[in-house]
Structure 1
Amino acid sequence: MCAPHLLLVHGAWADGSSWRKIIPILLGQGLRVTAVQLPLTSLADDVAATQRALALVDGPVLMVGHSYGGAVITNAGNDAKVVGLVYVAAFAPDEGEAVGELGKEFPPPPGLAELRPDAHGFLSMTVQGVLENFAQDLPAEEGRLMHAVQTPTHGATFGAPTGQPAWKTRPNWYVVATEDRMILPALQRQFVERLNASTLTLPASHVPMLSHPGEVAEFIDRAARQLRSPK
């Protein structure tokens, strides 16, 4: 019996280094890991990049998505290889829903006020936004590093409707971050109920995989072990 390959999908204003603290832990547990690098140019482009990474993996796959990456795995996770989905403080849209439409019944998350557009429609997060709203439970030097390596994200990405959601046909896990200022915890709990997901709740910012890497890695490892399949 072997555990599924882990395909890690980062969110907006980030890159694959979002997973830098948990990848060594997961590799140390004998798991196979790939971190996808999203272009963040459109939902279709990001799903395509994830599908290309998925095509290179043999055997079953457990997809893990952070933040906007949850929308990506919701769409890309319909591949027959995918046996489960883990959402880390992530969006989990239903069919026809766009990320930008989710949570409008709540006050705007504080972090959204710290996004700045360029002339081409790409949004970037300010240093203040990262330090105070995106990763406020990390040391300031880590927050500044995250700001420096962020990938600007096209605004149209958040208006693209979701196709058939993979979470309707696969087991799901969800990490709730109770101090999140990007995706409000109340909205995350709605996703947990929607997905009927096994849940880990952490007193974390929007990046629990960086502020609580041990707990998040253990949760992902547990999900992978529960999905063991024959070689």
Structure 2
Amino acid sequence: MSTSTPTVVLIHGAFADAASWTGVIAELQKEGVPVVAPPNPLRGLASDAAYIASVAAQIDGPVVLVGHSYGGALITVAGVTENVVGLVYVAAYVLEEGESLGELQGRFPDSPLVSNLRQAMYPVEGADPAVEVTITPEAFPAIFAADVPEAVTKVLAVAQRPLAASAFTETAAAAAWKTKPSWAVVAGADQAIDAEVQLFGAKRAGATVVEIEGASHAVAVSQPKKTADVILDAVRATS
């Protein structure tokens, strides 16, 4: 790939970390594509998006932002950063400007995820403790990663990164897909974000959609090659 090849910035979602991109990173590196997988703070839509925007802005040259799950909401906002040239949604929420995750999800029946969230408190400097959520470990394999080997899901279940509950009610300050081209990987058997929710947002954004039948929410883990192929499409189209 040439020097004008965009850098791919992979944003993980809730209940996961950047290691969930391991297989996708290997596929992109094999093709000579520069890639960065920063940590997602998971503390709130506006603050997380500001962090992702700052990561993108400090990269020399064009950037393709890739967001999994809640990470999709973040790239929707952070994607207005000047050097971002494309957006890729992976089993993700694609928000409209002024819309929250709760509002988008609320248009559709609840997924099994909703009834299997566990609440905990975390300290906030200068304020009352706030609520964060994880998926109950026993429900995690079926909801998050049904097509991933059980031994792997047991590790992922105890290594979850919690999401601030406030992230569900904060609204998106921008919708970068209105001015940037977008692609979407829809996980056909997703039990965390229903495929209908993913499709609705992707179609509204005018994204180029690739649906992977039978794929769980952890599609980047179970289908790294197919996921990377869509990202590579975006890289080629924006090079």
Paired residues of 1:115 and 1:129 also in contact (CA < 8 A): no
TM-score, length basis structure 2: 0.92
Match of 2:217 in 1: 206
**How does 1:174-213 map onto structure 2 within 5 Å?**
174-203=184-213, 204-213=215-224
Match of 1:123 in 2: 133
* Most deviating of 202-211 and 104-113: 104-113
Structure 2: where are the runs of 5+ without partners?
Answer: 122-129
**How does 1:25-44 map onto structure 2 within 5 Å?**
25-44=27-46
Match of 2:162 in 1: 152
What secondary structure, in the 3-state scheme, does the structure 2 residue paired with 1:36 have? Answer: coil
Root-mean-square deviation (CA), in Å?
A: 1.2
Match of 1:20 in 2: 22
Paired residues of 1:37 and 1:49 also in contact (CA < 8 A): no
Quote the offset at 1:85 in angstroms.
0.2
Identify which of 148, 158, 163 aligns with 1:138: 148
Residue 161, structure 1, aligned to residue 174, structure 2 = no
Report how many aligned residue pairs link the two structures: 228
Match of 2:227 in 1: 216
Match of 2:65 in 1: 63
Quote the offset at 1:173 in angstroms.
0.1
CA offsets 1:96-150 (integer angstroms, 9 cap, x no match): 1001111323221012211100134010111222211111111111111211221
**How does 1:85-96 map onto structure 2 within 5 Å?**
85-96=87-98
Paired residues of 1:117 and 1:124 also in contact (CA < 8 A): yes
- State the alpha-carbon separation in 2 of the partners of residues 45 and 18 from structure 1: 22
* Most deviating of 207-216 and 143-152: 143-152
Paired residues of 1:115 and 1:126 also in contact (CA < 8 A): yes
Letter of the structure 2 residue corresponding to residue 36 of structure 1? P
Percent of pairs with identical residues: 39
Match of 2:111 in 1: 109
- State the alpha-carbon separation in 1 of the partners of residues 82 and 107 from structure 2: 35
Letter of the structure 2 residue corresponding to residue 215 of structure 1? K
Letter of the structure 2 residue corresponding to residue 56 of structure 1? Q
Paired residues of 1:85 and 1:167 also in contact (CA < 8 A): yes
Match of 2:86 in 1: 84
Q: Which runs of 4+ in 1 moved over 4 A?
A: none
- State the alpha-carbon separation in 1 of the partners of residues 234 and 111 from structure 2: 29
Paired residues of 1:12 and 1:67 also in contact (CA < 8 A): yes
Quote the offset at 1:44 in angstroms.
2.0
- State the alpha-carbon separation in 2 of the partners of residues 42 and 103 from structure 1: 17
Residue 49, structure 1, aligned to residue 51, structure 2 = yes
What secondary structure, in the 3-state scheme, does the structure 1 residue paired with 2:105 have? Answer: coil
- State the alpha-carbon separation in 2 of the partners of residues 114 and 141 from structure 1: 20
- State the alpha-carbon separation in 2 of the partners of residues 192 and 33 from structure 1: 23
Letter of the structure 2 residue corresponding to residue 202 of structure 1? I
